[in-house]
Amino acid sequence: MKDLDGIILFVVGSVLAVTLFWGVVTGLKKTFSMPKEPKRIDTTELMREQKRRSQEIKEKQREFMRDQQQKMRDYRKF
């Protein structure tokens, strides 16, 4: 019975050791592997989108200022 417990303990320990070793090797492999091709970013499209948003914001700001000025004129009439 003692021999069977020792064998089971040895098998379980061996499986855990192999699993741990395999995890370390895989982790190191992923750490040191270089990406195959760097991602390319299309900056021209991003710049166009940024300019469009900037112009929209400026137009909304102008509209808001016109509305505020009109309200001020309306309040002065009273």
> Does residue 38 or residue 12 have the better pLDDT?
12
> pLDDT tens for residues 13-62?
999 999 999 999 999 888 888 777 777 777 898 999 999 999 999 999 99
pLDDT for 69 beyond 70: yes
Domain residues of the chain, as ranges? 1-33, 37-78
Structure-block tokens of residue 40: 């390319």
Evaluate the CA torsion angle 8, 20, 25, 39 in order and state its sign: positive
**pLDDT of 76:** 85
**Predicted model pTM:** 0.44
Return the H-helix or E-strand segment holding 1: none
